Chain A
Amino acid sequence: AQRVTQPEKLLSVFKGAPVELKCNYSYSGSPELFWYVQYSRQRLQLLLRHISRESIKGFTADLNKGETSFHLKKPFAQEEDSAMYYCALGSGGSNYKLTFGKGTLLTVNP
């Protein structure tokens, strides 16, 4: 069975500090990993996915199959990064579904 673990419910950093949101997964097949974000009063939206290998809003995430991790990083946090972040695992082929972690609430203090 697939599982996504985000060990931190809350994460607080100061503006300009580096931030890392942790995500570990459990899946026997070839994983597809995503980070979704929900800003205050907005709907859930895709931030980035591992296959794109892109940086969005300064965030990057690298899939580490050895450690089964997909941590989200940003070198210099901004106040507008304050939001709820969800790591998600896509799996199942023809029975495709997204399995979400419980989320990490990031607060960037001025």
Chain B
Amino acid sequence: EAGVTQSPTHLIKTRGQQATLRCSPISGHTSVYWYQQALGLGLQFLLWYDEGEERNRGNFPPRFSGRQFPNYSSELNVNALELEDSALYLCASSLEVVSADTQYFGPGTRLTVL
């Protein structure tokens, strides 16, 4: 079974630009979660999508947005990039929208903002 995949592996942008990160969940998983892992801040919840809709978002500004496509893959967009957006962005998927369901993580996209 293929795991969660993310692309690109690395992304380098300059301040003010936009970044687009992509995630493909495990086949059959309908929920996709995005997390930011910035140095010193640990893993922070960003967004949760299920069945094409945004279900919850963490404490991040609106320039962090995303969407989920009919095939359940997802895209995270970060507009007006700031230096502090440099981080590892992790995507996870789960089979059902039930609490305590296992989230399976992808390898991450390393975003560097110069």
Contact = CB atoms under 8 A, between A and B. Distances in A.
Interface string B32-52: 010100000111110010000
Kindly state the interface size class of chain A when it binds its partner. 20 to 34
Contacts of A90: 99-100
Contact of B33 (A86, A98, A102): A98
A97 B45 contact: yes
B108 to A, nearest CB: 8
B48 A100 contact: no
Given A86-B43, A90-B100, A96 B48 contact: yes
Contact of A95 (B33, B35, B55, B103): B55
Given A43-B106, A45-B104, A100-B42, 12 more contacts: A43-B3, A45-B105, A46-B103, A86-B43, A96-B97, A97-B48, A97-B56, A98-B103, A100-B35, A101-B42, A102-B41, A103-B42
Interface of A: 32, 34, 43-46, 49, 51, 86, 90, 92-103
